[in-house]
Chain A
């Protein structure tokens, strides 16, 4: 497998709540990207972190935020949850450097917002 883990596997929240999703990358993978995949759609890029700094962001509002830690783990935080936030959230880590072509995906966290 890819060596990328995510927790939790599944999560149910209600509108307006906040959620934190976690990702643990392979050792040495200092670039992590987060994606949102709604049902029937391809993954959509949320943002990328490189060496603990945000390195690029997709078309997502500021209530989506992230952190990356020195131990190659990272978090995706979503505030004020909306029904449309229900999706599979994927993190992907990349080999050292800024080449993100080779991305290793975790199994994802399935978030349901009621």
Chain B
């Protein structure tokens, strides 16, 4: 079983729409959780950390459910610039474990 599993998408949404997607992780001892954004052929960049209480950063909302080992990301009022691959990332100890990514394309 993979450490982090994501729906690969792609999610193809119009500008202004809301899009949400999830990931699950296998290691219940994981300590911290993140969403990274990766543009085509570029390095991953931290989008936001994910906290148990849920957290928002502008149009982005992340949720963590430790009991179900489930993380979600919601993007409101999508912009063209939100088109990217979103990587779910879990820290089970001394490394970062990445999912394969969910591709989001926002169309005009």
Contact = CB atoms under 8 A, between A and B. Distances in A.
A107 to B, nearest CB: 5
A102 B46 CA distance: 9
A42 B7 CA distance: 12
Contact of B95 (A41, A48, A102): A48
B43 A45 contact: no
Contacts, number: 53
Q: How large is the interface on B (under 10, 10 to 19, 20 to 34, 35 or more residues)?
A: 20 to 34
A56 B87 CA distance: 22
B24 to A, nearest CB: 14
Contacts of B95: 33, 45, 48, 56, 58, 100
27 contacts: A40-B100, A41-B100, A42-B87, A42-B98, A42-B100, A42-B101, A43-B44, A43-B87, A43-B98, A45-B95, A45-B96, A48-B94, A56-B94, A58-B95, A90-B44, A92-B96, A100-B91, A100-B96, A101-B49, A102-B46, A103-B46, A103-B96, A105-B43, A105-B44, A107-B42, A107-B43, A108-B43
Interface of A: 33, 35, 40-45, 48, 55-56, 58, 88, 90, 92, 98, 100-103, 105-108, 110
